[in-house]
Amino acid sequence: MIKIRRRLTEDEKFMRAAIKEAEKAGAIGEVPIGCVIVKDGKIIARGYNKRKKEGNTLSHAEIKAIDKACKKTGDWRLEGCSMYVTLEPCPMCAGALVQARIDRVYIGCMNPKAGCAGSVLDMFSVEGFNHQVECVKGILGDECSEMLKNFFKDLRKRLKEEKKASEI
Amino acid sequence: MIKIRRRLTEDEKFMRAAIKEAEKAGAIGEVPIGCVIVKDGKIIARGYNKRKKEGNTLSHAEIKAIDKACKKTGDWRLEGCSMYVTLEPCPMCAGALVQARIDRVYIGCMNPKAGCAGSVLDMFSVEGFNHQVECVKGILGDECSEMLKNFFKDLRKRLKEEKKASEI
- Across A119-148, average pLDDT: 98
Q: Which of A153, A18, A1, A145 has the alpha carbon at shortest distance from A83? A: A18
Q: Does B125 touch chain A (CB under 8 A)?
A: no
Predicted confidence band of residue B140 (pLDDT cuts 50, 70, 90):
very high
Where is A142: in which H helix or E strand? Answer: helix A141-167
Q: Does A98 touch chain B (CB under 8 A)?
A: yes
What confidence score (pLDDT) does residue B5 get? 64
For B95, which of A52, A55, A95 is closest by C-beta distance?
A95
What confidence score (pLDDT) does residue A8 get? 74
CB A36, CB A24: distance < 8 Å: no
What confidence score (pLDDT) does residue B8 get? 74
Q: Which of A92, A52, A55, A47 has the alpha carbon at shortest distance from B71? A: A55
- Quote the ipTM score: 0.93
- Supply the pTM of this predicted model: 0.93
Give Dmax over CA atoms of chain A in angstroms: 60
User: A6-10, B27-31, B143-147: which range is least confident on average?
Assistant: A6-10
Does position B63 have pLDDT exceeding 90, yes or no? Answer: yes
Q: Does B129 touch chain A (CB under 8 A)?
A: yes
Q: Does A25 touch chain B (CB under 8 A)?
A: no
- Across A66-77, average pLDDT: 98
* Test the A interface: residue of B49, B50, B56 with most A CBs within 10 Å: B56
For residue B33, CA distances in Å to A98, B11, B86 come to 19, 17, 6
Q: What is the mean pLDDT of chain B?
A: 95
Predicted confidence band of residue A84 (pLDDT cuts 50, 70, 90):
very high
What confidence score (pLDDT) does residue B6 get? 67
Q: Cα–Cα distance between A11 and A84 in angstroms, integer?
A: 8
Among candidate residues A21, A23, A54, A62, the one labeled active-site is A62
Does position B3 have pLDDT exceeding 70, yes or no? Answer: no
Does position B97 have pLDDT exceeding 70, yes or no? Answer: yes
Predicted confidence band of residue B167 (pLDDT cuts 50, 70, 90):
confident
Does position A4 have pLDDT exceeding 70, yes or no? Answer: no
Residue of B nearest to A115 (CA): B129
What confidence score (pLDDT) does residue A3 get? 63
What confidence score (pLDDT) does residue B86 get? 98
* Percent of chain B residues topping a pLDDT of 70: 96
What confidence score (pLDDT) does residue A39 get? 98
- Across B103-122, average pLDDT: 98
Q: What is the pLDDT of residues B7-28, one digit of tens each?
A: 679 999 999 999 999 999 999 9
Q: What is the pLDDT of residues A12-69, one digit of tens each?
A: 999 999 999 999 999 999 999 999 999 999 999 999 999 999 999 999 999 999 999 9
CB B99, CB A57: distance < 8 Å: yes
